């Protein structure tokens, strides 16, 4: 494993993340796109859950969800979030902190069209994060949606779509022996990205 040094780090953090993310499936084939998303609920309590990273570019990191879910309600009240991506076999972690906004409807439509049909039906059937009586209630709702879209293409519901996290900082952590790890943080400023080394 290469050491993470300032001389080897690209000026663009997305280029470094792209390299790490592309290498992850070979090291850890079990959902390398999983990231932990942390939000703050309307009462000020932190909430963390795993979601799937479905895209990233110079604009930020994208995930999709039900806009009526607990995480979406938290982001509506406080559009800031943290992400944490971990590839344990490679001893690599990336932490992102930034502001959040919805992706465009066209982006959400394009991603929704690629989803498995049952996942598309589930986006209509599940009242995500709401209390339900039992599993039977969910299954009945799925059955009703299946009948509604029988023989038809499943369109994206308006209450489902993507969010983009625009980073103000991106920290890369590379494990090293003796817990003397490498930590480089990219911090956004008016001139682009400033690289800082953090003590392990």
User: Between 30 and 166, whose confidence is greater?
Assistant: 166
Verify whether residue 8 is a known catalytic residue. Answer: no
Do 169 and 97 contact (CB within 8 A), yes or no? yes
CA distances from 40 to 114, 129, 178 (A): 30, 15, 34
pLDDT at position 190: 87
Please give the Cα distance from 13 to 189 (Å, whole number): 13
pLDDT at position 1: 60
On the question of pLDDT at 88 being above 80, the answer is yes
Half-sphere exposure of 111 (CA within 13 A, CB side): 19
To the nearest whole percent, how much of the chain has pLDDT over 90?
88
Q: Give the predicted TM-score (pTM) of the model.
A: 0.92
Task: Give strand pairing partners of 85.
Answer: 35, 94
Query: pLDDT tens, 160-190?
Result: 999 999 999 999 999 999 999 999 999 999 8
Catalytic residue among 59, 148, 179, 194: 179
Query: pLDDT tens, 121-130?
Result: 999 999 888 8
Please give the Cα distance from 161 to 38 (Å, whole number): 18
Domain 13-115+160-197 has CATH 3.40.50.450: no
Residue 145 has φ and ψ, to the nearest 5°, of: -70, -40
Half-sphere exposure of 108 (CA within 13 A, CB side): 21
């Amino acid at each position: 494993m290469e050491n993470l040094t300032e001389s080897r780090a690209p000026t663009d953090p997305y280029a470094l993340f792209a390299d790490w993310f592309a290498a992850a499936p070979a090291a850890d084939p079990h959902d390398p796109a999983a990231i932990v998303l942390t939000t703050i609920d309307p009462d000020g309590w932190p909430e963390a859950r795993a979601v799937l990273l479905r895209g990233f570019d110079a604009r930020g990191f994208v995930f999709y969800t039900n806009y009526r879910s607990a995480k979406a309600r938290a982001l509506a009240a406080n559009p800031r979030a943290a992400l944490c991506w971990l590839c344990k076999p490679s001893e690599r972690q990336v932490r992102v902190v930034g502001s959040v906004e919805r992706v465009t409807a066209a982006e959400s439509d394009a991603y929704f069209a690629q989803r498995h049909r049952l996942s598309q039906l589930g986006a209509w059937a599940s009242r995500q994060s709401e209390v339900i009586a039992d599993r039977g209630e969910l299954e009945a709702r799925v059955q009703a949606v299946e009948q509604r879209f029988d023989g038809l293409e499943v369109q994206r519901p308006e209450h489902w779509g993507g969010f983009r996290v625009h980073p103000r900082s991106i920290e890369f952590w590379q494990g090293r022996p003796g817990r003397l790890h490498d930590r480089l943080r990219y911090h956004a400023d008016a001139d682009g990205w400033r690289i800082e080394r953090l003590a392990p």
